[in-house]
C-alpha cells in the first residue's frame, strides 16, 4: 500500500519551501522516520522523514521545485521489498538548476557516492576531486562543500599524464563556459533582507581598533585547562560576546529596535552570531548571552557551527536576536562595513588579527591588532553612542579582568 509523503509544517509564517535534494531514489529501502528528502526554506534546510518503513516510490516533484506545506512530494510502499541493485554504475542525480555534469568519480571505475546536492556537485567539478574518495562529515555521512574544499587542498600535485588520444576539434574555438544556477531559497532570502536593510535604515559605520595582547595571553595560558574542564576550546568569540553584552548595557540604544514610530528597548541581550553553512550564511541566536559565562557562550557557538554544517539548525534558533556579531576575520578580512540584520539596529564586525606598529607610552611597539567595525541605524543611534559602545568594547578586550568584575 502506497503512503503519501507530505511537506511537514515548516514553522510560523513559512508556507512553502524548495526541494533541495532527494536523499532516497525510487526502489530504495527506507526505514520509518528516515530522511528521504531535504527542503530549503528561507532560513534553514529541513529534512522530510519517511512516514513508514518500506520502499521509496515515485517522486512527485523535482529538485528545485517550490512546494507548499502539506503537499504530496512522493510515495512510500509500506512493507515492500527494495529493488535489487543493478551492476551498472549509478546515475548521477539530475537537478533542474543545471545540466548534469560528469564528476571525476564517474569517469573512472570507482563507485560514486549517493546523491550529491547541487552545491556539492558544483564544488566537486570546480575543484576536480573524486567524490568517492571523500569522507563526508555531514548528516548521515553526506559530503558537504567544506569536505570537498578540504579534499582539494590536500590533493597532491598531479603527475604529468600520458598524452590523451586526439579529440575531435570543437565546432567553435575557445574554452569560455557559463553555468546558470538558480539561487537557493536561503540565498534569495539573504539577498532580499540585506537589500531591505540598506533601503530602510540610515546606515553608518564607525571603526576602532583593539590590542589583542591581553586576550591572546589569557587564551594561551588557560586554553588547555579550559578545554579539559568545559570540553570546548577557548576562542576569541567568548570574550567578544561577553564584552559586547556589557557595552550593550551601558549603551541600550545599540541593543534596541524601531517598530513603527516606537523604540523598543531590551533588558536582555540575545546575540546573533553569523556562521557559515553549506547553503550560505546563517545567524543563530545565543539567548540571554548576558547571563552566560564565557564557557557557556563558547559551547553554544561550537554547537551552532557544527549543526550549521550538518544542516540541522532549527527555525526557532534563528528567530529574534537584539544584536549581531559577524567574524570575517576567520576568512582573512582586514576591514569591512557589515550590514544590519533587521529589525536589529546594529552589527559588530570582527576582523583578522595582525601585528602592527603602535605607539604605547611614547614608544613604537609591535602589537597584535584587530579592526572593529560597528554598522548602525543612525535613525536610532547617534555617532556619540556608537563610538562610546566601541570604546567600552575595546576597554574590556584590552583588559579582560573588566569582564570578570563587570566593569
Half-sphere exposure of 167 (CA within 13 A, CB side): 5
Nearest to 283 by CA among 393, 182, 197: 197
In this predicted model, which residue has the larger pLDDT, 391 or 137?
A: 391
- pLDDT above 80 for 170: no
According to the model, what pLDDT value does residue 101 have? 40
CATH of span 1-85: 2.40.50.100
Helix, strand, coil in percent for the chain, rounding step 5: 30, 25, 45
pLDDT bracket for residue 112 (50, 70, 90): very low
Asked if 378 is an active-site residue, the reply is yes
In this predicted model, which residue has the larger pLDDT, 155 or 184?
A: 184
According to the model, what pLDDT value does residue 82 have? 58
According to the model, what pLDDT value does residue 247 have? 96
- pLDDT above 90 for 225: yes
Residues 38/47, Cβ–Cβ less than 8 Å: yes
According to the model, what pLDDT value does residue 147 have? 80
Topology (CATH) of 93-154: Dihydrolipoamide Transferase (4.10.320)
Q: Any idea which residue has 569522507 for its cell? A: 135
* Average pLDDT score over the chain: 82
Q: Which among 224, 250, 382, 406 is annotated as catalytic?
A: 382
pLDDT bracket for residue 99 (50, 70, 90): very low
- pLDDT above 60 for 127: yes
Residues 270/314, Cβ–Cβ less than 8 Å: no
Asked if 266 is an active-site residue, the reply is no
- pLDDT above 60 for 89: no
Determine the Cα–Cα distance for residues 183 and 267; give it in Å rounded to an integer.
38
E strand spans, 34-95:
35-40, 45-49, 54-59, 66-68, 72-78
In this predicted model, which residue has the larger pLDDT, 201 or 127?
A: 201
pLDDT bracket for residue 197 (50, 70, 90): confident
| pLDDT tens for each residue of 327-370 | 988 888 999 999 998 889 999 999 999 999 999 999 999 999 99
Q: Which among 288, 378, 399, 406 is annotated as catalytic?
A: 378
What class has domain 203-405?
alpha beta
> What cell does 392 get?
567600552
Record the pTM.
Answer: 0.63
| pLDDT tens for each residue of 37-74 | 888 876 667 888 898 999 998 899 888 888 888 889 99
| pLDDT tens for each residue of 132-169 | 788 887 766 778 777 877 887 776 554 444 555 555 55
According to the model, what pLDDT value does residue 185 have? 73
Please report, for the chain, the start and end positions of each structural domain, with discontinuous segments joined by +: 1-85, 93-154, 203-405
Helix H or strand E encompassing 282: strand 280-282
Half-sphere exposure of 75 (CA within 13 A, CB side): 10
pLDDT bracket for residue 377 (50, 70, 90): very high
Residues 373/351, Cβ–Cβ less than 8 Å: yes
| pLDDT tens for each residue of 285-310 | 999 999 999 999 999 999 998 888 88
In this predicted model, which residue has the larger pLDDT, 93 or 265?
A: 265
Determine the Cα–Cα distance for residues 260 and 237; give it in Å rounded to an integer.
33
- Residues 382-397, mean pLDDT to the nearest whole number: 96
3-state secondary structure of 41: coil
Determine the Cα–Cα distance for residues 335 and 350; give it in Å rounded to an integer.
8
Amino acid at each position: 500500500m502506497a503512503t503519501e509523503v507530505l511537506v511537514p509544517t515548516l514553522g510560523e509564517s513559512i508556507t512553502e519551501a524548495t526541494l533541495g535534494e532527494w536523499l532516497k531514489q525510487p526502489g530504495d529501502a527506507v526505514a520509518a522516520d528516515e530522511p528521504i528528502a531535504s527542503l530549503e526554506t528561507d532560513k534553514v534546510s529541513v529534512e522530510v522523514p519517511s512516514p513508514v518503513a518500506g520502499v521509496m516510490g515515485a517522486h512527485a516533484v523535482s529538485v528545485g521545485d517550490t512546494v507548499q506545506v502539506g503537499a504530496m512530494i512522493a510515495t512510500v510502499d509500506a512493507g515492500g521489498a527494495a529493488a535489487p541493485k543493478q551492476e551498472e554504475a549509478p546515475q548521477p542525480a539530475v537537478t533542474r538548476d543545471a545540466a548534469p555534469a560528469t564528476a571525476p568519480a564517474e569517469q573512472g571505475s570507482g563507485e560514486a557516492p549517493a546523491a550529491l546536492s547541487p552545491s556539492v556537485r558544483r564544488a566537486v567539478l570546480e575543484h576536480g576531486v573524486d567524490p568517492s574518495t571523500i569522507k563526508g562529515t555531514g548528516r548521515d555521512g553526506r559530503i558537504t562543500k567544506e569536505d570537498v574544499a578540504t579534499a582539494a587542498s590536500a590533493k597532491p600535485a598531479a603527475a604529468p599524464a600520458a598524452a590523451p588520444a586526439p579529440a575531435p576539434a570543437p565546432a567553435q574555438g575557445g574554452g569560455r563556459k557559463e553555468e546558470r544556477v538558480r539561487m537557493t531559497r536561503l540565498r534569495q532570502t539573504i539577498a532580499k533582507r540585506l537589500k531591505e536593510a540598506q533601503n530602510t535604515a540610515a546606515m553608518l559605520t564607525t571603526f576602532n581598533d583593539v590590542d589583542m595582547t591581553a586576550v591572546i595571553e589569557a587564551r594561551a595560558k588557560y586554553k588547555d585547562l579550559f578545554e579539559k574542564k568545559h570540553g570546548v576550546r577557548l576562542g576569541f568569540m567568548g570574550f567578544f560576546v561577553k564584552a559586547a553584552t556589557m557595552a550593550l548595557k551601558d549603551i541600550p540604544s545599540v541593543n534596541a529596535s524601531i517598530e513603527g514610530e516606537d523604540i523598543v528597548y531590551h533588558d536582555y541581550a540575545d546575540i546573533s552570531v553569523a556562521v557559515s553553512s553549506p547553503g550560505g550564511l546563517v545567524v543563530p541566536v545565543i539567548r540571554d548571552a548576558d547571563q552566560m559565562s564565557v564557557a557557556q557562550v563558547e559551547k553554544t557557538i561550537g554547537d551552532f557551527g557544527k549543526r550549521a554544517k550538518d544542516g540541522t539548525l532549527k527555525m526557532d534558533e534563528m528567530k529574534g536576536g537584539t544584536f549581531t556579531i559577524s567574524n570575517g576575520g576567520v576568512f582573512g578580512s582586514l576591514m569591512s562595513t557589515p550590514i544590519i540584520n533587521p529589525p536589529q539596529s546594529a552589527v559588530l564586525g570582527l576582523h583578522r588579527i595582525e601585528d602592527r606598529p603602535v605607539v604605547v607610552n611614547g614608544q613604537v611597539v609591535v602589537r597584535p591588532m584587530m579592526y572593529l567595525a560597528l554598522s548602525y541605524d543612525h535613525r536610532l543611534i547617534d555617532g556619540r553612542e556608537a563610538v562610546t559602545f566601541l570604546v567600552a568594547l575595546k576597554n574590556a578586550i584590552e583588559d579582560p579582568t573588566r569582564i570578570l568584575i563587570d566593569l
